[in-house]
Amino acid sequence: MNILVINCGSSSLKFQLIDSDTENWIAKGLCERIGIDGSVISYTPAGGEKETKVTPMPDHTEAIRLVLEALTNPATGVVKNLDEIGAVGHRIVHGGEKFAASTLITDEVIEAIRECNDLAPLHNPANLIGIDACRKLMPNTPMVAVFDTAFHQTMPPKAFMYGLPYSYYEKYKIRRYGFHGTSHSYVSHRAAEVLGEKYEDLKIIVCHLGNGASVSAIKDGKCIDTSMGLTPLEGLIMGTRSGELDPAILEFISNKEHLNLSEVMNILNKKSGVYGLSGDLSSDFRDLEAAYNKGDEKAKLALETFCYRVAKFIGSYVAAMNGVDVICFTAGVGENAPLVRTWICNYLGYLGVKLDEEANKKRGEDIVITTPDSRTKVMVIPTNEELAIARETLALVK
Ligand code: ADP
């Protein structure tokens, strides 16, 4: 079956058409600047050339219409007509406490997702617009919602509660949810598969280090803790996000810089992280590494602070699980930055981690990067959120 995977943001839309038999993508692309002047669609069929077209996209329905037109285009398309698309999988950022698993999309499900909008005001409304646009254009195609938060719903209360008045949890559902769940699930399952071990028998820590970054702990086949919280701002230092900090800093910055709360939040989300630490040099680890290699002290500080925070989270999850069997690195930085992996692993001597320098230089494959006598295994597992969404979708529409 061909499954269309849609990841819809407020002004962009990523798509991939995946053949569920081979699990390969057969076409993929991106619509950008939806609802803004200069909208662009890029489209790449497998084995073909990437084409980019500037064309008006006043709304998401028009963006989806252009995606479907590209997929069915007689010259460069990959399917004859829309009947050849068996199902659509939608990435939904926040499923609150309502969704602990993926689900077939119905009117009731849409309403329940809408009720989570407060928890992710930037993301969920955009995700819903994507669903709405697809339903208009493909009214008879089954659709599935796959939630970023679902995998973490197995966390126990002691891991998801904040030290706040309990009434806020009752009234507003303020608690830790965690994100990147599709990636944490895919990578941890894949690690067990590659090692030939039973998933339920392993204690696994997954470090998803991309522009956004999070760590999760998986024991007895369940996620028991993760570093992101009510929103994706908590936890690790990220590309431009601060990660966790003393909450009193918000009032302090507000007073000193004469900023209101939403202006301070904007700084924590967009001007902080390794970008802010490096003196606004870059949020991209390639730039930071290049600057570090030329002796830039702030780039060094940004990289060191980032790695130290990851290592501390790993340590706390080793404590939470009373041990760890395998630590996995994934996402843009985790998959592509041997230096970052080395610096993090340098803190893990107490786990008997012995890095295999040669293996650590490889890229683009599922690989163990520790030596055979390393007491704890460290792996690189390239994440594939689209494939994970397609699998979830197939399982529900079969
Ligand atoms: P997201 O999906 O959160 O936007 P990704 O997982 O795609 O992020 O990661 C993007 C980041 O990966 C880039 O900002 C960059 O810092 C990092 N990255 C990509 N390639 C490399 C590389 N070769 N070396 C170091 N970092 C890299």
Q: Could you read off the pLDDT of 355-375 as tens digits, one per residue?
A: 999 999 999 999 999 999 999
How is 55-101 classified by DSSP, letter by letter?
----SHHHHHHHHHHHHH-TTT-S-SSGGG--EEEEEES--TTT-SS
Percent residues over pLDDT 90 in the chain: 97
253 and 338 inside one domain: yes
| Bridge partners for 25 per DSSP | 18
Q: What is the mean pLDDT of the chain?
A: 96
Q: What is the pLDDT of residue 121?
A: 85
Domain end: 130, 147, 164, which one?
Answer: 147
Residue 392 has pLDDT above 90, yes or no: yes
Same domain, 137 and 223: no
- Measured in angstroms, how far is the CA atom of residue 239 from the centroid of ligand 1? 9
Quote the pLDDT of residue 365: 94
Are 327 and 377 spatial neighbours (Cβ–Cβ below 8 Å)?
Answer: yes
Q: What is the pTM of this model?
A: 0.95
Burial of 5 from C-beta contacts in 10 A (0-12 / 13-18 / 19+): buried
The domain of 275 spans 198-385
Tell me, yes or no, whether 259 and 343 share the same domain. Answer: yes
Determine the atom of ligand 1 nearest the C-alpha atom of 285.
16
pLDDT of residue 321: 98
286 Cα–ligand 1 center, Å: 8
69 CA distance to ligand 1 centroid (A)?
A: 31
Q: Whose CA is nearest to atom 4 of ligand 1?
A: 211
Residue of minimum CA distance from atom 11 in ligand 1 = 332
**List of residues 6+ apart from 59 with CB closer than 8 A:** 34, 35, 129, 133
Residue 66: count of CB within 10 angstroms of its CB: 21
Q: What is the mean pLDDT of residues 47-71?
A: 94
Residue 193 belongs to a domain: no
Q: Which of 128, 147, 166 is the last residue before a domain boundary?
A: 147
Which of ligand 1's atoms lies nearest the C-alpha of 340? 25
Does 340 share its domain with 213? yes
Assign 355 to helix, strand or coil.
strand
Expressed in angstroms and rounded, the spacing between residue 212 Cα and the centre of ligand 1 is: 9
Span 174-199, pLDDT tens digits: 999 999 999 999 999 999 999 999 99
Are residues 228 and 179 in contact, defined by beta-carbon separation less than 8 angstroms? Answer: yes
- Same domain, yes or no, for 305 and 372? yes
pLDDT of residue 9: 85
- pLDDT of 10 over the 90 cut: no
Query: In this structure, is residue 397 part of a structural domain?
Result: no
The whole-number pLDDT of residue 122 equals: 81
Beta bridge partners of 14: 7, 30
Same domain (yes/no): 137, 222: no
Which helix or strand (DSSP H or E) is residue 104 part of?
strand 103-104
- Residue 177 placed within a domain: no
Nearest CA to ligand 1 atom 27: 333
Helix (H) or strand (E) holding 47: none
The upper half-sphere exposure of residue 26, i.e. CA atoms within 13 Å in the direction of its Cβ, equals 21
State whether 143 and 202 are in the same domain: no
Residue nearest to atom 12 of ligand 1 (CA): 332
What residues form DSSP beta bridges with 355? 370
Does the active-site annotation cover 148? yes
pLDDT cut 70: percent of the chain above it: 100
- Determine the distance separating the centroid of ligand 1 and the alpha carbon of 284, expressed in angstroms: 7
Domain assignment present for residue 204? The answer is yes
- Give the pocket of ligand 1 (CB within 6 Å): 210-212, 239, 284-286, 331-333, 336-337
Q: Are 190 and 335 in contact (CB under 8 A)?
A: no
Atom of ligand 1 nearest to the CA of 286: 25
Whether residues 94 and 212 share a domain: the answer is no
Catalytic annotation, pick one of 132, 148, 201, 284: 148
Residue-wise pLDDT tens digits, 270-293: 999 999 999 999 999 999 999 999
- Are the CB atoms for 368 and 381 separated by under 8 Å? no
Given a contact cutoff of 8 angstroms between Cβ atoms, the answer to whether 82 and 74 are in contact is no
pLDDT at position 312 is 98
Report pLDDT digits (tens) over 192-249. Answer: 999 999 999 999 999 999 999 999 999 999 999 999 999 999 999 999 999 999 999 9
| Averaged pLDDT for residues 132-140 | 93
The total number of residues written for the chain in this structure: 398
CATH number at residue 32: 3.30.420.40
316, part of any domain: yes
Residue 348 clears pLDDT 90, i.e. is over it: yes
Pairing mode of beta strands 51-54, 40-45: antiparallel
Same domain, 204 and 295: yes
**Please, which residues bridge with residue 92 across strands?**
147
Dist CA 228 CA 234 (whole Å): 5
Decide if 132 is inside a domain. yes
Q: Which atom of ligand 1 is nearest to the CA of 383?
A: 6
3-state secondary structure 167-227: HHHHHHCCCCCCCCHHHHHHHHHHHHHHHCCCHHHCCEEEEEECCCEEEEEEECCEEEEEC
Q: Structural domain tally of the chain? A: 2
For residues 132-155, give the mean pLDDT. 96
Tokens matching residue 132: 């709405």
Handedness of CA 357, 181, 194, 88 (dihedral sign): negative
Evaluate whether 228 touches 176 at the Cβ level (below 8 Å): yes
CA 349–ligand 1 middle distance (angstroms) = 27
In a domain, residue 28? The reply is yes
Residues 242 and 370 in one domain: yes
Nearest CA to ligand 1 atom 23: 336
* Half-sphere exposure at residue 338, Cβ-oriented, CA atoms within 13 angstroms: 14
Residues 225 and 77 in one domain: no
Q: Which of 147, 169, 187 corresponds to the end of one domain?
A: 147
| Domain contains 265 | yes
Buried b (16+ CB within 10 A) or exposed e, 233-242: bbbbbbbbbb
**Which amino acid would we find at residue 358?**
E
Question: What average pLDDT does the segment 81-104 reach?
Answer: 96
Residue from 286, 293, 307 whose mutation best tests the ligand 1 pocket (most atoms within 8 A of CB): 286
Do 374 and 240 lie in one domain? The reply is: yes
Q: Give residues with Cβ within 8 angstroms of 247, minimum separation 6.
A: none
Q: Whose CA is nearest to atom 1 of ligand 1?
A: 211
Alpha carbon of 14 to ligand 1 centroid (Å) = 17
